[in-house]
């Protein structure tokens, strides 16, 4: 008897770290049907096949309203129901100060995070109202609560998702529909590598490296894992949380609860840097090396993303200093 027996779910960003882990867990918990939606088709199709006959993958660009309605329609076609919608697709978006953000990048980031969450609700609600039940889970972020955890448009969308969640909860409660969000802290997924401009593959390798890195910047001294988010999504999707609606549940290892004083002693940054880039292909390695070039202003912005990974920050800074030193010599 799984917690999700008889239920049909739709997960966006299903080919990324959090999406894959949640898809796996939902299948383990007996979900009747699962539609995995993403734009990373290679990974999405592979995982959907692994997970069995009641899991389908569909290419879905959540900035396109028609892709959204297609994904929803597919779920109804194949599984005759839609019980859980997990709006989780995302990317880091552009960094930089307010006056430097390209407007079209701003628009796109808001579209894939906030507008997409709204559109999934808009098009799922009539179905859920007919069923008399349904459940929305949306991925927010620690970036919604404080400056310095993500780029501007990313943070804005994640903050607005918190309010969208409250609004949906109040509007839809009487129809048996709940709406909640999850605010992950720093979770070892490909989002960081993507932020650096690495290939998907390179980003996944960096994620694997991060899984094993201690995270001394937050109360719980380990990397957040996709499984931590998946477990939370399961709780919010199950009947155990049937009186929980309108909330944003932080899964952040205590990050937002307060700063941890850092040990100023140096780690072996050289070794860690080598470890970090050793599995990357040449192109991705060049990207990482380029990032620590002194002139690369992007690096300074990207430091935000590594907040609890103090060791990784000092590694990158050390590399940067090394390169600056070498330049001075020559």
Q: List the catalytic residues.
A: 154
Q: Which stretch binds another protein (CB under 8 A): 83-91, 127-135, 198-206, 233-241?
A: 233-241
Longest CA–CA separation in the chain, Å: 72
Residue 264 CB, shortest distance to another protein, in Å, is: 17
Residue that the structure tokens 């990784």 belong to: 312
184 bridge partner residues: 251
Give CA separation, 69 vs 45, 63, 64, 86, 136, in Å: 20, 11, 9, 15, 16
Q: Which stretch binds another protein (CB under 8 A): 74-82, 87-95, 118-126, 257-265?
A: 257-265
75 within 8 A of 33, measured Cβ to Cβ? yes
List binders of another protein among 260-299 (CB under 8 A). Answer: 260
Phi, psi of 266 (to 5 degrees): -85, 145
Q: Which stretch binds another protein (CB under 8 A): 64-72, 255-263, 288-296, 305-313?
A: 255-263
List binders of another protein among 205-224 (CB under 8 A). Answer: 218-222, 224
Query: With the C-alpha atoms ordered 226, 76, 91, 142, is the resulting torsion angle positive or negative?
Result: negative
9 within 8 A of 84, measured Cβ to Cβ? yes
Q: Between residues 69 and 238, which has the closer beta carbon with respect to another protein? A: 238
List binders of another protein among 70-129 (CB under 8 A). Answer: none
List binders of another protein among 161-190 (CB under 8 A). Answer: 165-167, 169-174, 178, 185
Helix 310-329 and helix 269-277: axis angle, to 10°? 100
Q: Which stretch binds another protein (CB under 8 A): 33-41, 84-92, 235-243, 320-328?
A: 235-243
The side-by-side arrangement of strands in the sheet containing 33-38 is: 55-59, 33-38, 8-12, 84-87, 134-139, 177-184, 248-251
Residue 253 CB, shortest distance to another protein, in Å, is: 5
Residue 22 CB, shortest distance to another protein, in Å, is: 13
Residue that the structure tokens 């070892």 belong to: 188
Q: Between residues 202 and 217, which has the closer beta carbon with respect to another protein? A: 217
Contact residue for another protein among 146, 212, 242, 268 (CB under 8 A): 242
Q: Between residues 76 and 220, which has the closer beta carbon with respect to another protein? A: 220
Q: Between residues 259 and 286, which has the closer beta carbon with respect to another protein? A: 259
Quote the distance between the C-alpha of residue 196 and its chain's center: 15
Residues within the interface to another protein (CB under 8 A): 165-167, 169-174, 178, 185, 218-222, 224-225, 228, 231-232, 234-235, 240-247, 249-254, 256-260
């Amino acid at each position: 008897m799984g917690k999700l027996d008889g239920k049909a779910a739709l997960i966006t960003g299903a080919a990324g770290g959090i999406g894959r882990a949640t898809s796996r867990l939902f299948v383990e918990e007996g979900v009747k049907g699962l539609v995995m939606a993403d734009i990373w088709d290679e990974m999405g199709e592979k995982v959907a096949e692994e997970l069995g006959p009641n899991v389908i993958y569909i290419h879905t660009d959540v900035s396109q309203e028609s892709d959204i309605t297609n994904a929803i329609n597919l779920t109804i076609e194949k599984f005759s129901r839609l019980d859980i919608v997990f709006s989780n697709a995302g990317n880091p978006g552009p960094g930089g100060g307010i006056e430097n953000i390209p407007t079209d990048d701003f628009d796109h980031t808001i579209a894939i995070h906030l507008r997409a969450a709204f559109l999934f609700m808009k098009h799922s609600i009539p179905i859920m109202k007919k069923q008399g039940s349904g459940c929305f889970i949306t991925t927010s972020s620690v970036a919604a609560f404080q400056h310095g955890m993500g780029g501007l448009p990313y943070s804005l969308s994640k903050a607005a998702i918190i309010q969208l969640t409250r609004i949906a909860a109040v509007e839809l409660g009487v129809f048996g529909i709940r709406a909640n969000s999850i605010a992950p802290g720093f979770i070892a997924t490909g989002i960081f590598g993507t932020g650096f401009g690495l290939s998907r593959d390179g980003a996944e390798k960096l994620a694997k490296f991060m899984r094993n890195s201690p995270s001394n910047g937050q109360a719980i001294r380990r990397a957040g894992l996709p499984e931590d988010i998946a477990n939370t999504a399961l709780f919010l999707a199950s009947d155990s949380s049937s009186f929980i609606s309108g909330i944003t549940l932080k899964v952040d290892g205590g990050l937002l609860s307060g700063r941890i004083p850092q040990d100023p002693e140096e780690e072996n940054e050289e070794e860690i840097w080598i470890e970090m880039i050793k599995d990357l292909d040449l192109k991705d390695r060049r990207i990482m090396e380029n990032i620590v070039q002194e002139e690369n202003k992007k690096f300074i912005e990207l430091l935000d993303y590594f907040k609890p990974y103090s060791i990784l920050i000092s590694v990158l800074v050390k590399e940067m200093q090394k390169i600056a030193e070498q330049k001075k010599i020559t």
